[in-house]
Amino acid sequence: MTTESTTESVFTGLKVLDASSFIAGPAAATMLSDFGADVIKIEPPGAGDPQRRLSSVPPSPRAQANYGWHLANRNKRGMVIDLKSPAAVGVLKRLVEWADVVITNFPHG
């Protein structure tokens, strides 16, 4: 009997574009990453995803690191894209074409 060591998970090879913020969207992308998906999280320039500042709102405990942010965005690669810029259209199009899954919770319009 032989045993083979494998590092592949159920979603190994799945490509995910995470264009979401606040809880549900990032959590879904994180669960996919936990099971092997390659996730790219996009954020706006400047302050980044508004969830980055959530730890400074009471009743969050004071800490040097934003635990909630790290928890919701572990195992992801990050990219800054100004979606309000005309130049971003081509970059976003390439990312969407690359991805197998796109997660977003932007409002319509």
Q: What is the CATH number of the domain that holds 44?
A: 3.40.50.10540
Residue 96 near residue 17 (C-beta atoms within 8 A): yes
Residues 62-77 have pLDDT tens digits of: 777 777 788 889 999 9
Q: What is the pLDDT of residue 8?
A: 83
55 lies in a domain?
A: yes
29 lies in a domain?
A: yes
Q: Which domain holds residue 92?
A: 15-104
7 lies in a domain?
A: no
- Give the chain's domain count: 1
4 lies in a domain?
A: no
- The mean predicted confidence, pLDDT, of the chain is 87
Residues 13-38 have pLDDT tens digits of: 999 999 998 888 999 999 999 999 99
